[in-house]
Structure formats: C-alpha cells, structure tokens
Structure 1
Amino acid sequence: MTDRPDAPAPQPRLHPGPIAIAFATAILLAAAWMWSNMLLLGFGAILIAIALRAGGTFLQQRTGVGIKTGVLLSALAAVLVIAGIVAWAGPAISDQFRQLIGSLPDAWEQVNAWLGDSSFGQFLERQVKDASTGGEASPSGLPSMFSYLTGTLTTVFGGVANLVLLVTVAIFLALDAGMYRGGALRLVPPSYRPRAGGIANELARALARWMGGQALDMVLVALVTGLGLWLLGVPLALVLGLIAGLTNIIPVVGPFLSGVPAVLFALTQGFDMAVYVALLFVVVQQVEGNLLMPLIQRFAADLPPALTVLAILAFGSLFGFAGIILATPLLLVGIILVKRIYVEDILGDRQDD
C-alpha cells in the first residue's frame, strides 16, 4: 500500500540548541530583574488568591455554594472583618499611635541623656561627629520641604494603588485558578506536565499552610504582648501589641522592629519600666520561637533558621521592604523547587518525605 501523493509531509520538530537556550535564559533573567517589582506584586497576589481559594473551598464544602461564589463571599467577609476592626478599635489605635509618635522625641532625649553620662555613649558621640566632619550641610528651606511633601504623597498614593491592584489581581486569580494553572502548565513540555502539576499542587498546599500558621502566630503574639504590656501598666498596650503582631511576619528582624519603639516609649515611664518591657519582649519571643513556632511548623512548613536569615538579607537587599516581607514564602518556594526538580529529577535522589 503506497502513501497518497497529496498527503502533507510531516513537519520536523525544531529543537533549540544550547546557544539558543542560553540566550533565552539570559533574556528571561534580565526581564525578571527589570520587572522584579511587578513579579513581587504578582507573587503577593498569588498568596492572597490561595487564601481566598481556601476560604471559597471551605464554604463550598460546608454550604454547597459554587467555588466562585465562595471566593467572593470570602473576600467580602475579609473586607467586613477589617472594616469592623477599624470601626471598633480604629479611633483608639489612631489616638495611641499619635501618643506613641509624640512621646518618641522625649524618649530619645532620655536615651541621649543616658548615653551622655556613660563612657560608651560619649565614645559613640565622638565617632558620629568624626564621621560627619566634612560632610555637606543638608538642604533646607522651602524647596526641601516641597520635595519632602511631594515624595511622601507619591509614596502614599503609590502604596494605595499597589494595594488595590494586588487585591484585584488576587480576586481574579482565585476566581479562575484552574484556567491560570492550566495556561501555565501548557508552557511545560507535555511529558513533564503531570510532574509540574504535582509540584504546583505541593507549592499551593505549602503556601496555604504557611499563611495559616503565620496568621495564627501573629495573632497569638499580638494578644500575649498586648496583655503583658497592659498588666505592666504601659499606656499604649493595644497599639504596641498590634505592632508586635504585625512585625512578627518578619522572622528574626520583626521582634526587634516592634521591641525598640516599645522600650523607647517605656523609657518615658521610667528606666525600670523599660527594663520590664524589654524582658517581656524577650520572654514572648523565646516562647514563640521555642514552643509556639515549632508546633505551628509541624502543620505548616519547617524552614531552616539559617536559610531564613540569609533569605531575609538577600531579598531585602535586592527588593527592599517588599523583599523582606516576602522572603519566607519565597524561600519556601525555592526549597520545594530545588528539592523536587534538581535533587529528585536531575540528580535522581528520591527519598520518602
């Protein structure tokens, strides 16, 4: 039997050579660096979308509503909860924030006075004066004030715009997660798609567990710290506890960021009060790091502390504050990808988890 003369000849598949692969990789890396802010924004939107999708799945299982309806109800519930908290505690928190900011100069003056009476403080003062010798005076006057106000307004409006964009993208991702996941998998060669789909599912589960564990940890730290400050008689216990909970999303560095303003404010109540507040933060962080976090990590994700610190330094130096906030989930994604793709698939070292 002969082939039909009018049958189209099969088209050969094009296989890119190593030079083309290296060139394409270089272009992708350069594009990722240029669009790093957009990629970080997209990663943050994926985290929120995973949380919304989990809420939608929960509502679907409990009430029988559609997954898209569940996602929208989850987003609405989150907005209502935040609005309720702002309406209930917003005035008190705002007033305490104003008191905290107003008290920081007095606290700093007390720190300067204490340092001025000590040999160590006098040494630091000499070093600062020597370092500033020969420097140009800072600009002052109306142009400087205008530049400062312009920069502040630009930062605020830019942050609000990014937040709105982040939430909008997250809702779209959560509503049609299957479509976006399928589109991403089509970029993978067909023979590897089942493996890529399994890794994508593992990443989603790991990030969901991390967010749940981190949220629980932040709430408990905020409650315990606020209660401890209230028992000590610190006036701004509510806002200081809130700061401690919010900054606890940053491992290692977060407790320092929340402890410093609390201790500075406590100095206005006396040196003994500052010592008690510092001890409270140390105790809370020891309990959180040695008891609470290991229990949470059994459910969520066990990340090596040394790699976590290095990830914070690396992503923070590359991408600024957004990199610090997203360093831990980015590290989690990196560990899973290296383990599944490089160690297991390339090296062939497969071990049971």
Structure 2
Amino acid sequence: MTEPQTPETKPRVPLATILTVFALILVLAAVWKWSPMLLMAFGAILIAIALRGGGALLHRWLGIGLKTGIMITALVAILAGAAVIAYAGPAISTQFRELMRSLPQAWEQVTNWLNNSSAGQFIERQMANAQQNAGARPSAQSLPSVFGYVTGTISTVFGKIANLALMITVAIFLALDAQTYRGGGLRLVPLSYRTRAAEICDEIGRALGRWMAGQALDMAVVALATFLGLWLLGVPLALVLGIIAGLTNIIPVVGPFISGVPAVLFALTQGVDLAVYVAILYIVIQQLEGNLLMPLIQRFAADLPPAMTVLAILAFGSLFGFSGVILATPLLLVSIILVKRVYVEDVLGDRKDD
C-alpha cells in the first residue's frame, strides 16, 4: 500500500496556472462589462470587410487602387443611403405611421372574432385559463408583446444613429488600413502560434465576407418579392412592409414572424380575404427562400446548422439584447471556426477532413 501523502508531499498548483486562471477571469469580466463596445467593434469589422470587398472588386474591374476603391465604395453607400432617406424617407415614414395606427384596429378585429366565433371563444378560453394567475385577458387596448417588440426594436434602431455613424467611421478606418490592425493584433500572439493565428484570422475574414454577401442577396430578394407580392395584392403599405421583411430576414427563424404578423394584421383591416392572401404570400416567400434560395447561397457562403443558429439567437439575445440577436449568426460562424480550428484541431489533434 502507498503511504498517504503528507502536507509536504502534496502537489502544488503552479503559479503560472493560478495567474492564467486569474487573467482569464479578468478577461471574461472585461468582455461582459464592455460587451456593448465589443459588439459595436464587431459590427464595424463586418462593415469594414464589406467595404474592402467592394474596393477589391473596383480594383480588379477598373484597376484603381484598393484604398481608392474602398473610399468610393463607402461614398456610394453613404450617398445611396442619403438618397433613400431624402426621397423615400417621407413616404416610408408616412406609411409606417399609418401601419402603427392600423395595428390596434386590426387587433380589435381579432378580439371581436375571438368573442363571436365558437372556435375563437375556445381559443379565448384557453388563453384566459393560461393567463388566469396574471389576471390578464386579450383586449383591443393591449396588443401582443410582438408589437411592442417590433416598435421597441425600430425605436432603438433610430435612437442609435450616433452609434451607427461612429461604427461606420471606425469601419472605414479599419478597411483602409486593415493590415496594420491585423498585424497589431497578431503581435499579441506568441511567436510559435502566430502563423496559425494568422491562418485562422484570414479564414474568419473570408467566411464573414461570404456570409455578408449571401445575406445581402437574400435580404434583397425577400424585400423585393414581398413588395411585389403585396403590391399585386393591392396592400397599401407594400413598400414599408417589403423593407421590414427584408431587414428582419437577417434574423433566421424569428425574422419572418416579426415581419409577417404586422403585415397580416394590417391586411386584416382591409378584409379577411386579403389577410389570408398576405399570410399565404409570406409563407410561400419564406418557403422558397428557405428551401431554394438559402441552400444556393449557403453553398457559396456558410452552411450553419439550423438548431445551433436558433440556440445562438437565444443565447446571444439573452446576453446582449437585440444587438446580440442581429449579430447572432456571424458570432456563431466565428465561434464554430474558432472551436474547430483551435480546440478540435490544435488542442485535441483531430485534423481529419470535415
């Protein structure tokens, strides 16, 4: 039998391990404390990648310098945004206010249907039983939380214009001198790992660039298809509803519901038949987007597991709010690459092909 260890023979935890754990705790605390700033920085990096992509295209097509191409890309994007705001902004603002005014009327029609139809009364009883402890009942004066979420989201977006301008400014600087910032970050990595870190960094940049290109195409197609479909159906607010559908499509799974529910309720104010047609339109567009367009885009961009995407939305949304929901997919993409390259391949030594 082995002798029991005395206090003098017990293994001691190395000082380096203690310092490493302490440093890791400090880093995690700093990340949590500065998460809004870090999310802004991540958004600026995404915009910078897009600007460099546009500059690279102009460099190849026109032979101009890369930095000149980046500045032209940024200028065109800013001017295009200003033109949309100047010429379409008043119409969109008017339509949006009309949409917000119509939603209470639409919800009142829904509650009237709940009160007057046998199926609706059954649903209402179930909702009342579920909310009995809270003492709440559906009413025309109390819209569902989804509407508060949508309006709060849009108010937040418009309330952070200054942060958006700052993020775009940082993105332009990053895009113009990306190699300097990349090199500075890599100098923080030990020499023995620096080459590997550079490879992973470049892979992340390429993956994010492909994802943004694919996502932009997907959002544009959904916005255009929704606008044309609603316009053909005679829905008055086709423009703003199409824009909302395109913008919210950046959020997988949840986005179509955020845009579809207000559209159906607004159409309900014009008639039940129109509401049914609008619901069918949104379902058809999302089915085509999910089963035809997105798989084609994912072959070029990034094929992310749907279950992990939903979990990422829930996780990053609970941690960072709406900004985390918007950036959940690219954050998941970066996390998958880091886990695969750093942990699976480098730590575990599993370098088998996917």
TM over 0.5: yes
- The 2-side partners of 1:35 and 1:87 are apart by 35
Alignment of 1:244-323 (within 5 A): 244-323=245-324
Q: Equivalent residue of 1:131, what SS? A: coil
Alignment of 1:154-233 (within 5 A): 159-233=160-234
Q: Which amino acid is the alignment partner of residue 251 of structure 1?
A: P
Q: Equivalent residue of 2:352, what SS? A: coil
Alignment of 1:1-353 (within 5 A): 17-117=16-116, 118-125=121-128, 127-128=130-131, 130-132=133-135, 159-352=160-353
Q: Equivalent residue of 1:230, what SS? A: helix
Deviations 1:176-234 (A, max 9, x none): 10010000000111111111111111000000000000000000001111111111121
- Residue ranges of structure 1 left out of the alignment (5+ in a row): 1-14, 134-150
- The 2-side partners of 1:206 and 1:19 are apart by 36
Q: Tell me by how many angstroms 1:331 deviates.
A: 0.2
Q: Specify whether residues 214 and 187 from structure 1 end up closer, same or farther in structure 2 by C-alpha distance, changes over 3 A only.
A: same
Spell out structure 1 runs of 4+ moving beyond 4 A: 154-158
**Partners of 1:115 and 1:122 within 8 A in 2:** no
Percent identity over the alignment is 69
TM norm structure 1: 0.86
Q: Specify whether residues 194 and 251 from structure 1 end up closer, same or farther in structure 2 by C-alpha distance, changes over 3 A only.
A: same
- The 2-side partners of 1:128 and 1:352 are apart by 52
Deviations 1:151-200 (A, max 9, x none): 99x96786122112111111111111001000000011111111111111
- Residue ranges of structure 2 left out of the alignment (5+ in a row): 1-13, 137-151
Q: Tell me by how many angstroms 1:54 deviates.
A: 1.1
Q: Specify whether residues 270 and 158 from structure 1 end up closer, same or farther in structure 2 by C-alpha distance, changes over 3 A only.
A: closer
Q: CA RMSD in A?
A: 2.0
Q: Tell me by how many angstroms 1:252 deviates.
A: 0.1
- The 1-side partners of 2:292 and 2:156 are apart by 39
Q: Equivalent residue of 2:134, what SS? A: helix
Q: Tell me by how many angstroms 1:280 deviates.
A: 1.0
How many residue pairs align between the two structures?
321
Q: Which amino acid is the alignment partner of residue 238 of structure 2?
A: A
Q: Which amino acid is the alignment partner of residue 61 of structure 1?
A: R
Q: Tell me by how many angstroms 1:269 deviates.
A: 1.2
Q: Tell me by how many angstroms 1:62 deviates.
A: 2.4
- The 1-side partners of 2:100 and 2:282 are apart by 20
Match of 1:6 in 2: none
Q: Tell me by how many angstroms 1:22 deviates.
A: 0.8
Q: Tell me by how many angstroms 1:123 deviates.
A: 3.8
- The 2-side partners of 1:115 and 1:165 are apart by 48
- The 2-side partners of 1:305 and 1:288 are apart by 14
**Partners of 1:116 and 1:122 within 8 A in 2:** no
Q: Which amino acid is the alignment partner of residue 163 of structure 1?
A: L
Q: Tell me by how many angstroms 1:339 deviates.
A: 0.6
TM norm structure 2: 0.86
Q: Equivalent residue of 2:160, what SS? A: helix
Match of 2:145 in 1: none
Structure 1 residues 95-104 or 337-346, which shifts more?
A: 95-104
